[in-house]
């Protein structure tokens, strides 16, 4: 009987351990600011993160302040505005036109979530 109690307590502890001390962030994101879109993009496509171009663009547009613009507004209010901003602020070799279009279409959908 004692063994069952010990196993039960250990199981509950293992289930609760990941949530201890974590709390709710009230919908905020850890939004490291970047001076440029290119710097943000490079951070998210290189090294340990290694996101693809589409995901990196969306992450930068939604989650990070760029220059003086706030997160989630930096890339504009429409897919067309986003495409113009991203195309002007990323090196040509960073992402294809198709990647930028896909990312900006997704940005408009995902930024409202």
Q: What is the pLDDT of residue 2?
A: 58
pTM (2 d.p.): 0.73
The pLDDT > 90 percentage for the chain reads 68
CA atoms within 13 A on the CB side of 108: 13
pLDDT confidence band for 90 (50 / 70 / 90) = very high
* Cβ count within 10 A of residue 94: 18
CA atoms within 13 A on the CB side of 17: 7
Say if residues 41 and 54 touch (Cβ distance below 8 Å).
Answer: no
CA distance 7 to 23: 26
Q: What is the pLDDT of residue 49?
A: 86
Q: What is the pLDDT of residue 111?
A: 92
The pLDDT > 70 percentage for the chain reads 73
The domain limits of the chain are 37-110
pLDDT confidence band for 79 (50 / 70 / 90) = very high
φ, ψ dihedrals at 63, nearest 5°: -100, -15
- The model's pLDDT over 12-60, given as tens digits with 9 standing for 90+, comes to 444 433 433 434 333 445 689 999 999 999 999 997 789 999 999 999 9
Q: Single out the residue of 16, 88, 100 nearest to residue 53, CA to CA.
A: 100
């Amino acid at each position: 009987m004692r063994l069952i109690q010990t196993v039960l307590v250990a199981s509950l502890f293992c289930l609760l351990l990941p949530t201890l001390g974590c709390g709710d962030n009230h919908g905020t994101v850890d939004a490291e600011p970047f001076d440029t879109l290119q710097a943000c993009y490079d951070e998210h496509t290189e090294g340990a993160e290694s996101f693809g171009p589409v995901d990196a663009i969306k992450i930068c547009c939604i989650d990070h302040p760029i220059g003086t613009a706030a997160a989630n507004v930096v890339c504009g209010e429409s897919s067309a505005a986003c495409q113009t901003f991203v195309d002007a602020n990323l090196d040509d070799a960073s992402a294809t036109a198709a990647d930028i279009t896909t990312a900006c279409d997704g940005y408009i959908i995902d930024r409202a979530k």
